[in-house]
Structure 1
């Protein structure tokens, strides 16, 4: 298991090229989940955003995607990528039994980042 470096995760999530970031998310968690994170109803948008010459994003959508990427980078500390994807989709007691995907879309940054960090550091109360 990798060591979690909060500062490095934050810096990478805020400074990465948005198209590279979206491409990574699409590859890692799938376009439908990226669509949920972004808050869009357009199923093709994540694929367009992933291309370097793709559609530009509005500021709110970009913030949501950067938060999703930050959470995903945090989850990279887990040994099982499929467990990380499953965690994003499952009701979470630390998030009022809502899904982390939905907390990202609502931009509840502190709560969802704390929940992800608790998972990977094994500090979540069960």
Structure 2
């Protein structure tokens, strides 16, 4: 029988692998479906939300920093989704988080707080928050 720590590590590895294997077009499309084009643009650090649609269609590719933010948001979402469901993962990503000084995980990713967001996600999975 697996311990909670082993289950969390397996979920972490699956989310990481899924993020690495996904084309950016799929990641952008997934995030746009979950949060809206405007929100994804904000997380990616760009001003033109229509650019997200271009990424989804493979017409353009984002700068490295934007891609890093999108992949981080996707990985954290998938990690939370592993233990709960898509609805809870979405709510967790947009809700205020006390570990992030009441910023939402999406806002924290937009502010380049990548490690802090993943730490908050791991705490959530462990039942600490």
Task: Name the CA distance, whole Å, in 2 between partners of 1:57 and 1:122.
Answer: 35
Give the SS at the match of 2:20.
Answer: helix
1:50-106 deviations in Å (ceiling 9; x for gaps): 11x321111111111110111111121254433322222222110112121111112
Partner of 1:22: 28
Partner of 1:9: 15
Structure 1 outlier segments of 4+, above 3 Å: none
The structure where helix makes up a greater share of residues is 2
* 8 Å contact kept, 2:19–2:75: yes
Task: Name the CA distance, whole Å, in 2 between partners of 1:76 and 1:37.
Answer: 19
Task: Name the CA distance, whole Å, in 2 between partners of 1:80 and 1:6.
Answer: 15
Task: Name the CA distance, whole Å, in 1 between partners of 2:59 and 2:124.
Answer: 34
Q: Does 1:117 align with 2:122?
A: yes
Count the aligned residue pairs.
Answer: 121
Q: Which residues of structure 2 form unaligned runs of 5+?
A: 1-6
Partner of 1:84: 89
Q: Which residues of structure 1 form unaligned runs of 5+?
A: none
1:105 counterpart (86, 99, 110): 110
Q: What TM-score, normalized by structure 1, do the two folds share? A: 0.83
Task: Name the CA distance, whole Å, in 1 between partners of 2:111 and 2:101.
Answer: 13
* 8 Å contact kept, 1:67–1:107: no
Q: What TM-score, normalized by structure 2, do the two folds share? A: 0.81
* 8 Å contact kept, 2:93–2:104: yes
CA RMSD of aligned residues (A): 1.8
